[in-house]
């Protein structure tokens, strides 16, 4: 008899900020104990959620790592469709670093025209969308006694972008880390300690250096390289390292090169993400 899978990871979007026909923007789904947790809401998140069998009203909570546009660009779509598709008021629980409350206020203000159109048009729609926002920087983000799911946050280092956080989802003795954009740091080490799976956004400085764009060179010093991610995984005894948000996007056929680069520093399993990649943990 097969045991039911209690914790499931789905990479919704494996891309970074540069538009890619095959990779949606950064977003990751963790399903644990019946909860559906979405980390970041990059480009195309609702399309990929639909691909994973979930619609916005079904989400338990959205958790943001930081407010860079590539990680939140479709948050407005998520808020709108959660609201428009729910037959009754269904506030979106949302967690993020300090500053998130203000971001949500501004996002809902941006949606004002659409909100007015829909309230005027639909007789059963009386209230604007609502998000129940928790801000977290270092500590418990979710401690759900009913399901035994716990999520902790720790500060990461993506300076000058600040504050930023990573998350560790714990359930049934399993742990998945969603690191977000960060260089190696103490907070990241704490999250990764003995984790089964560690999802890290990565860049390849050696390839970025070949791109004739001064602006692109600026990204090198505030992201983990593939080697950084592998060293963090090794240092903290991680089981599986998942590389995602690759910049630049791996050329077709070059995927093994990225994986080999990580394997030089980490003996565990290395996976290069693609959209809708799933792992049962």
Residues that bind Zn ion (CB under 5 A): 68, 70, 181
CB of 194 to Zn ion, least distance (A): 26
CB of 183 to Zn ion, least distance (A): 11
CB of 235 to Zn ion, least distance (A): 22
By C-beta, is 68 or 279 nearer to Zn ion? 68
By C-beta, is 149 or 185 nearer to Zn ion? 185
Cα separation, 122 vs 100, whole angstroms: 30
By C-beta, is 74 or 181 nearer to Zn ion? 181
Helix (H) or strand (E) holding 117: helix 112-121
CB of 222 to Zn ion, least distance (A): 7
Smallest Cα–Cα separation from 180: which of 143, 135, 233, 222?
Answer: 222
> Annotated active-site positions, please?
70
By C-beta, is 233 or 246 nearer to Zn ion? 246
Q: How many CA atoms lie within 13 A of 129 on its CB side?
A: 33
Strand spans (E) along the chain: 7-13, 27-32, 35-39, 61-63, 92-96, 131-135, 139-144, 149-155, 165-171, 174-178, 197-203, 224-225, 240-247, 269-272, 277-280
């Amino acid at each position: 008899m097969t045991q039911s899978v209690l914790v499931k990871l789905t990479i919704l979007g494996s891309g970074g900020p540069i538009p890619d026909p095959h990779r949606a923007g950064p977003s990751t789904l963790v399903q644990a104990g019946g909860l559906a947790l979405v980390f970041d809401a990059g480009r195309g998140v609702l399309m990929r959620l639909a691909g994973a069998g979930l619609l916005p009203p079904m989400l338990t909570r959205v958790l943001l790592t930081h407010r860079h546009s590539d990680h939140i660009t479709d948050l407005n779509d998520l808020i709108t469709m959660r609201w428009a598709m729910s037959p009754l008021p269904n506030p979106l629980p949302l967690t993020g670093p300090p500053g998130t409350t203000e971001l949500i206020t501004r996002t809902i203000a941006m949606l004002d025209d659409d909100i007015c159109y829909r309230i005027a048009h639909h007789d059963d729609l009386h209230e604007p969308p609502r998000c129940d926002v928790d801000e977290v920087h270092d500590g418990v983000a979710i401690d759900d006694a009913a399901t035994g799911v716990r999520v902790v946050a720790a500060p990461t280092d993506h300076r000058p972008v600040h504050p930023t956080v990573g998350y560790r989802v714990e359930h049934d003795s399993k742990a998945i880390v969603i690191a977000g954009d960060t260089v190696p740091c103490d907070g990241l080490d704490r999250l990764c300690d003995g984790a089964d799976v560690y999802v890290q956004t990565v860049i390849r400085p050696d390839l970025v250096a070949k791109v004739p764009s001064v602006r692109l060179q600026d990204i090198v010093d505030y992201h983990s390289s593939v080697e950084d991610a592998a060293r963090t995984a090794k240092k903290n005894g991680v089981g599986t390292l998942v590389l995602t948000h690759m910049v630049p996007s791996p050329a077709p056929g070059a995927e093994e090169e990225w994986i080999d680069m990580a394997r030089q520093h980490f003996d565990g399993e290395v996976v290069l993400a693609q959209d809708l990649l799933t792992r049962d943990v």
